[in-house]
Structure 1
Amino acid sequence: MLDPLAAADAASDTPAPAAAPASGHTRRGFVRGVAVAGASTMAAVALDSVGATTLMGDSAVAAGPPTPFHDFRAIAASPADQFEVPEGFRADVVISWDDEFENTDGTKLRYGFNNDFLAYMPLPGKTDEALLFVNHEYPAPFFQHGNADGATKTVAQIEIEQYSVGNSIVHVRRGAEGTWDVVSPSPYNRRITGTSPACAATGPLSGTTQLNADGTSVKVEATMAGSLANCSGGITPWGTALSCEENYDGYYGAAGYGWRNKPGTERYDEKTYAHYGWVVEHDPYDASSTPRKHTALGRFRHENTAFRHVPGKRFVLYMGDDKTNEGVYKFVSSRKFVEGRREENLKILTEGQLFIAKWSPEGRRRFKNTDGSGLLTATSGRGEWVLVNDSELVDTSALLRKRLGTDAFNQFFATNRPEDVEVDADGTVLIAFTNNSTVNDRHGAIRKLREDNNDPTAATFSWEDYAEGGQTGRADVGEQGFSSCDNLCFDESNNLWVVTDISSSSLNNPAAPYYAYHGNNAVFMVPRSGPNAGIAYRFANMPVDAEGTGPYFSADGSTLFVNVQHPGEETSPSKGAVYGQPSTYRSYWPAGNKTAGVNPSLPRPSTVAITRIPQAAGPGPGPGTPGPGTPAPGPGTPPPGGSTTIPPTTPKPAPKPTGKTSVSVPSAVKLATLLSRGVTAEVRVREAARLQVQLRVRVPKVGRSKARTITAVTVRRTVSAGEHDVRLRPGAVARAALRLRRGRKLQAEVLLEVLPVDGSPRKLRRSDRFRVS
């Protein structure tokens, strides 16, 4: 069919050359490269001019300079309850569920549950500081309060769950050793939860009453409370983050989370109120901004977003409906992105037209055999974009099936769970189809979609399946293949990174033998050029029952952030688990290791930072390719500067201390020293614990500024029994306040809070004081 917006472009704009590439990497591309056409785009133009980029071949833009992650020795599949990376790298937990962090206004916050999407958003002018925008997809009632029965849940239990979903905006800073810590307090730190703040609805449905596919009425109110079911997401070139509300339909009823047991929660009833199921736009840099839910983008199980911007063309956003036999969507805005016109750009997602992809000869990959073998369908074809009417936006998939017919929808529009959509540097769209048991697709595939004439507003496209999951038959360690691809991202050299999403119930389960080769879920790197192009190399292993989500590189490419979601998810009273008794849980991660029988602990979803350990120059794998598939080193002492596993396979020996838990600091510290290097607190604990160490300073009145106690910095970490040094350096806001008091005598206090790693509520508190002169 004819795309009216593409036709308008053709009439009103100077057409872009057919080979002109997109100027937008997507949500997991580098933030510095998304606002304008950058070096990678220029490379694509040059390569295309000599015919190096083809419709479905490996992207020629993959050729590029070595990155900190470009060479490594692939690791073997593993069922172990630990996070593992290759030799020469280290993995560190940045923040975990229920960790406290603080805003400078004194608001105490806690990190949400089941972290999914992550965006690294640099702070202007600060190469070692950034904001992490993180989604929290869904609660885990058993781990949070012990009651998974929606029919009997109390108000207090519901409120715990409501606070644990939504989003976290966390200010982080890289220290001298290259590891990342939370900056707390910080004016950027905040939470979006299942109840607040109020979000504004935009677009054609805001403030209206619509009809569901079954003919019942549903209200799309202009103001909506909070956000939930936040799966993946994306970024925009004007500096905002997009959060996708996916499985929004199980919160109200007793068969789900049972939030109806709390008075005043009727707006969580998705059949009566359309408060959830949207793409939500946030400004992480502005705490006073109002989140906006864009009704023009449709209401379905949104997984993620990926934008494409070509100068002179209308702005385009790609999306997937993360459910078996659902579709891939494209939103074509009525507006164009113009760099520097932020207020106008903020209107881009409020008006336009939504389209669904129609695949020919068929959208799904169907297989003959239940083990995922015997492909029955084509691996390439053509397609067109079919308009979604405004009246179909509120219940998008169901209303489209009603109009198009179930049989036609299943043949031409349905796909195998589109969990991720990304835009390559040359404009090609990559789609991760995770799996689909209804058509015997056990392992999924990555598909390439290329718009005709490389025009993002085109009405038609070509497609080809690019990489398929399943066993490869390769013998080398770490090259056996991925299964159930989920989130994708690109590194600086345009290599493709893939995380997997085999369901927790199928992992390491004899009843699902087709996944036996895979072990736990994992992270893979796929070179896009060179002698190893197309081979998936295993880079990281997840703990028991967990999946890796939200892979995102720092702006300089030196850190790969990965969220670890739902460790121990299959823990259940029906399988012998007892709430409050960690030894009965399926995972002890990150404080312990179930398979090794080490330190039974409450499993906690966490954000992990992976960095390369600096080493002296020497022989090693060649640039641009992974090294030979040799096994990772066996258990041993963690390498200097960090560990290849969380928790360490063999922790450094630490004798059980005698005496009491304590914290000690010098009696006096110079202000200049405190500002430049901080103060070191010596902490002693009798057992493995989660620590919170806080530096507070009493500052006297200066001018109109009142005397008060400020929290200069908060540090959290999980430690083993023994003695530990904790460096406390005031944050930027605190340093500014302290400089105003230069020459005055100040009193400071270090507060230590110790929490058991098993998640029990008991706490120990200790403190010590010092003078600042």
Structure 2
Amino acid sequence: MPTSSPSSDAPRPESLVPVDPATGQHPQAGRTRRSFIRGVAAAGASTAAAVALDGAGITDLLGDSAVAAGPPTPFSDFKALAASSADQVEVPEGFRADVLIQWGDEFLNSDGTKLRYGFNNDFLAFLKLDGKPDEGLLFVNHEYPAPFFQHGNKGPGGKTAEQVELEKDSVGNSIVHIKRVDGLWQVVSPSPYNRRITGGAPDCAFTGPLRGTIQQNADGTPIEIEATAAGSLANCSGGITPWGTTLSCEENYDGYWSTTSSFGYGWANVPGNDKYNEKTYAHYGWVVEHDPYDPSSTPRKHTALGRFRHENTAFRHVAGKKFVLYMGDDKAGEGVYKFVSDREFLPGRRSHNLQILEQGTLYIAKWAPEGRRRFATAAAGEAGGSPVTPESGSGEWVKVEQNELVDTAALLRKRIGTAEYDLHFSTNRPEDVEVDADGTVYVSFTNNSGSGVWDFHGSVRKLIEAGNDPTALTFTWQDYAEGGPTGRAGTGEGGFSSCDNLVFDSANNLWVVTDISSSSLKGSISEKKYYTYHGNNAVFMIPRSGPNAGVAFRFANMPIDAEGTGPYFDADESTLFVNVQHPGEVTPDKPTAVYGDASTYTSWWPAGNKTAGLNPSLPRPATVAITRVKPGTGPGDTTIPPSPKPEGPTGKTTVDVPETVTLATLLSKGVKAKYRVREAARIELILYVRLPKVGRLKSRLLTVARVRKTVKAGAGSATLRPGTVARAALRTRRGRILRAQVRLIVKPSDGTPQVVRRSDAFKVR
């Protein structure tokens, strides 16, 4: 892939973090959750049934943000796309999509260390480099491996040590230095910033009350937290902090030891990997803090934030108040959390701020009258109907005790009781929690198809702290929006489901990516009829003000079996970075799948497009940069991989015939002429044969056959067979070698006077 060289005056580690001299803090801090809300949030609002869009107040809900809309961004205006099930990334006309880096790509640290980009990239953050408007760092999570595509194993058992090491190397995090050259982003390699954190290295340090202790699981068995853990894994979503660090969330950590779980990888069953057993070692399942600007820094796992299936983080800072971090437990039936630090955030006091997440109090949200959004029947949930549960209420934050931090959800259930927990603490899979600039907390509930719940499309809830105080212990809540088909007839306005990550732009538009399970998508092995309208997963933009407030417009389509994750704008909002995760992931579930045989894979993205029959290839997760095409720059492509295109005005018009045709074949079947034209046209194909002198018969050029037709741009063919009179003339030269040609005459169908002529010769024996 393209690379560019770093500056020769690379900064020393202690000076890598840029600080705004006016505020004394990292420049990313000024954007807080306003620009980097990531999750379902208001996304689902646009998918309410069209007939109820206004009556239900959806438009008002989406326009009720206290944040004023800014001027249009380069992404605010586009022609929405139709739903697609094609094996490609697609963006609208006027934009281009480019693969920035993909699984397996090599990039270098300045010391010569070779690094490889990991698998299944999820969360990403773009971090500015001080004084370099066209340079930055990408911090990327790599959530989980893909054993089948990496070494052929379909199941979690029977792995060799080498295969486990290969999987370890593919997860964790990447920190990638990038630079914009001629309007397009490229990887800078080598660079002192380039770094990998894997599932086995480097050692991450534990902080907080559980460091170096032995605790008890919910079943009463002892579980150990040492001072350090080898690397990081199950890194799903994450967040940033106002002091310039990134937070990576270890989500599905509980399957790496298992040989039976559907998310099992069997690592702990390979000698030397016993500490990946989540039943005996609590080394994974935490929020991990990284300093992308300092390559010498040690990642830290914060035990004060609890151990559960962390999806993401979103902070809120109010001057004079303790620092607050919101989190969700990404599992159907689990809860929403808030951490209140013992410390305030103090701009310019980085050594102080780096300890903010080490000590504090963790709380879980208790919802009244009920936490889950439920439907009377499965059919009602599939159709995106009305729930039987209240759509607003109140709540309180219940303290999580220190001994419950190690196995948070299970120990809370044990203390509270299953019935009470399910009624007041359970929610429908909180895949993201985010904070708008006015302090409103948005919780995205992706879905919960469980019996008695039947929430197939998910919803959004907004939470307002009492007195708008982030440290308050009570709150009010309201269901903000719901997912499902809209019934709207406009292209790209059909709605979406099961939304995941989200980001606001400065014009107050909401950008959303969706996360329908690959096996349930249209055309997949367990296709669900209620997702048919959606096609593949996609990226949407939802205006929150103006005449189109509340309408979701489809901006980008994902390839087969994939989801878009981690949407993030660069500093000037001229680029939208999106991760394309797990293309082709259903492949191992097919009994016909054969490792190494791309024809048996469900996706060939990004090098190929299976639906177009283009270039059978190994599917690879990748980070994509989407930019608006600027005057004077190359147009790029609106699809990845580029769609096969007919020849344009600068392409070639050709005609091709076999080198030799027998007279018998010519007389009986004719000759097949293949042609290619560069635009729609009226064409004429003429077959000429030169007859040699025989006796008194003179040599002459005979017009043997003609074909006229109107064609589209591209390739085609036609058969030219001599007529009755011509066949009689040709028979008189039997036994002689005849010279022949097919001439192609192209007249553009738009009436322009240009005529193109091409010909190809052959022999008749």
Counterpart of 1:175 in structure 2 is: 181
Q: How does 1:455-494 map to 2 (within 5 A)?
A: 455-494=469-508
Report the counterpart of residue 63 of structure 1 in structure 2: 69
Extract unaligned runs of 5+ from structure 1: 1-21, 32-53, 617-638, 656-773
Specify the alignment match of 2:391 in structure 1: 379
2:534 aligned with 1:518, yes or no? yes
What is the distance in 2 between the residues matched to 1:614 and 1:172?
Answer: 20
**Which residue in 2 is equivalent to 1:185?**
190
Match of 1:646 in 2: 640
Quick one: distance in 2 between partners of 1:375 and 1:615?
50
Tell me the SS of whatever aligns to 1:575: coil
Partner residue of 1:296?
304
Contact in 1 for aligned 2:32/2:242 (Cα 8 Å): no
Could you say what secondary structure the match of 1:264 adopts?
coil
Q: Which amino acid aligns with 1:183?
A: V
**Residue in 2 aligned with 1:453?**
467
8 Å CA contact 1:202–1:295 kept in 2: the answer is yes
- What secondary structure, in the 3-state scheme, does the structure 1 residue paired with 2:610 have? coil
The equivalent of 2:350 in structure 1 is: 342
Q: CA deviation at 1:467?
A: 1.8
Among 247, 253, 258, which residue is 2:252 paired with?
247
Partner SS for 1:199: strand
**Correspondence for 1:662:** none
For 2:645 and 2:164, how far apart are their aligned partners in 1? 38
Once the two structures are superposed, residues 455-484 of structure 1 have per-residue CA deviations (whole angstroms, 9 ceiling, x without a partner) of: 100111111111211011111011111100
Amino acid corresponding to residue 419 of structure 1 in structure 2: E
Q: Any idea what the Cα deviations from partners look like across 1:642-693, whole Å, max 9, x if unmatched?
A: 11110111258699xxxxxxxxxxxxxxxxxxxxxxxxxxxxxxxxxxxxxx
| C-alpha distance in 1 between matches for 2:29 and 2:109 | 35
Q: Distance in 2 between matches of 1:260 and 1:458?
A: 42
* SS of 2:485 mapped into structure 1: coil
Write the distance in 2 (CA, Å) between the matches of 1:645 and 1:28.
30
Give matches, 1:682-761, under 5 Å: none
* Corresponding residue number in structure 2 for 1:630: none
SS in 1 for 2:67: helix
Equivalent residue of 1:415, what SS? Answer: coil
**For residues 31 and 480 of structure 2, what CA distance do their matches in structure 1 show?**
19
Alignment counterpart, residue 139 of structure 1, candidates 137, 140, 145: 145
Give the corresponding residue for 1:223.
228
- Which of 286, 295, 298 does residue 287 from structure 1 map onto? 295
C-alpha separation in 2, matches of 1:272 and 1:241: 28
Asked whether the 8 Å contact 1:254–1:260 carries over to 2, the reply is no
Counterpart for residue 754 of structure 2? none
User: 1:168-567 to 2 correspondence within 5 Å?
Assistant: 168-176=174-182, 178-255=183-260, 256-371=264-379, 372=381, 373-438=385-450, 439-509=453-523, 511-567=527-583
CA contact (8 A) 1:101 1:109 kept: yes
Counterpart CA distance in 2 for 1:415 and 1:542 is 28
Q: Does the 8 Å CA contact 2:32/2:437 hold for their aligned counterparts?
A: no
Change (3 A) 1:140 1:305: same
**Does the 8 A contact of 1:27 with 1:235 survive in 2?**
no
- Distance change >3 Å, CA 61–CA 469, structure 1 → 2: same
Structure 2, gaps ≥5 residues long: 1-27, 38-59, 653-765
1:34 maps to which residue? none
1:398 partner SS:
helix
Q: Alpha-carbon deviation of 1:615?
A: 4.7
The answer (yes or no) to whether the contact 1:103–1:189 under 8 Å persists in 2 is yes
Counterpart residue type for residue 356 of structure 1: I
Structure 1 residue 640, shift from structure 2 partner: 4.7
Q: CA deviation at 1:260?
A: 2.5
Give the secondary structure class of the aligned counterpart of 1:461.
strand
1:595-634 equivalent positions in 2, closer than 5 A: 595-615=611-631
Q: Residue type matched to 1:650 in 2?
A: P
Deviations 1:99-149 (A, max 9, x none): 000001010000000000000011111000000000000000000110123
Match for 1:448: what amino acid? Answer: K
Q: Matched residues in 2 for 1:497 and 1:383: separation?
A: 28
Q: Distance in 2 between matches of 1:652 and 1:241?
A: 46
- Cα distance between partner residues in 2 of 1:589 and 1:403: 47
Contact 2:197–2:231, Cα closer than 8 Å, also in 1: yes
CA distance in 1, matches of 2:487, 2:644: 33
Q: Which moved more, 1:525-534 or 1:254-263?
A: 254-263
Q: Distance in 2 between matches of 1:136 and 1:506?
A: 23
Check whether the contact 1:136–1:230 (CA below 8 A) recurs between aligned residues. yes
Check conservation: 1:197, 1:226, Cα contact below 8 A: yes
1:573 Cα deviation after fit: 6.2
Structure 1 residue 62 displacement after superposition: 4.2
**Is contact 2:238–2:313 with CA below 8 Å preserved after alignment?**
yes
Letter of the structure 2 residue corresponding to residue 555 of structure 1? A
Shift in Å, 1:24: 6.4
Q: Is the 1:23–1:308 contact (alpha carbons within 8 Å) kept by the matching residues of 2?
A: no
CA distance, structure 1, for counterparts of residue 66 and residue 645 of structure 2: 44
| Superposed counterparts of 1:42-57, under 5 Å | none
Q: Say if 2:333 and 2:426, in contact at 8 Å, map to a contact too.
A: yes
Maintained 8 Å contact 2:103/2:620: yes
CA deviations on 1:321-345 (whole Å, 9 max, x unpaired) are 0000000000000000010000000
SS at match of 2:352: helix
Instruction: Measure the CA separation in 1 of the matches of 2:301 and 2:527.
Output: 42
Distance 1:614 1:420 in 2: 34
Residue type of the alignment partner of 1:185: P
Distance in 2, Cα, partners of 1:587 & 1:55: 38
* Contact 1:27 1:234 (8 Å CA) reproduced: no
Work out the CA distance in 1 between the residues paired with 2:561 and 2:33: 26
SS across alignment from 1:143: helix
- TM-superposed CA distance for 1:379, in Å, is 1.2
Give, in angstroms, the shift of residue 29 of structure 1.
2.4
Q: What's the CA shift for 1:73?
A: 1.3
Partner amino acid, structure 1, of 2:389: T
CA apart distance, 1:425: 1.1
Distance 1:135 1:318, change over 3 A: same
Deviations 1:410-450 (A, max 9, x none): 11110001001111011111111100011110100121111
1:26: how far off? Answer: 4.2
Query: Distance between the aligned counterparts of 2:563 and 2:34, measured in 1?
Result: 17
Partner Cα distance (1:498, 1:30) in 2: 12
Structure 2 match to 1:667: none
Q: Post-superposition shift, 1:87?
A: 0.9
Deviates more, 1:286-295 or 1:529-538: 529-538
Structure 1: distance between partners of 2:646 and 2:357 = 52
Q: TM-score, normalization: structure 2?
A: 0.75
Could you tell me which amino acid in structure 2 is paired with residue 543 of structure 1? P
Structure 2 CA distance, aligned partners of 1:248 and 1:529? 40
Structure 1 residue 25: Cα displacement? 4.6
Q: Percent identity?
A: 72
In the superposition, relative to structure 1, how do residues 295 and 318 fare at CA in structure 2: closer, same or farther (>3 Å)? Answer: same
- 1:707-763 CA-partner distances (Å, limit 9, x unpaired): xxxxxxxxxxxxxxxxxxxxxxxxxxxxxxxxxxxxxxxxxxxxxxxxxxxxxxxxx
Query: For residues 646 and 56 of structure 1, what CA distance do their matches in structure 2 show?
Result: 32
**How much has 1:494 moved relative to structure 2?**
2.1
Is the aligned partner of 1:75 residue 2:81?
yes
The question of whether the paired residues in 1 share the 8 Å contact of 2:323 and 2:344 is answered with: yes
Cα deviation, 1:279-305, whole Å, max 9, x if unaligned, reads 000000111100000000000000000
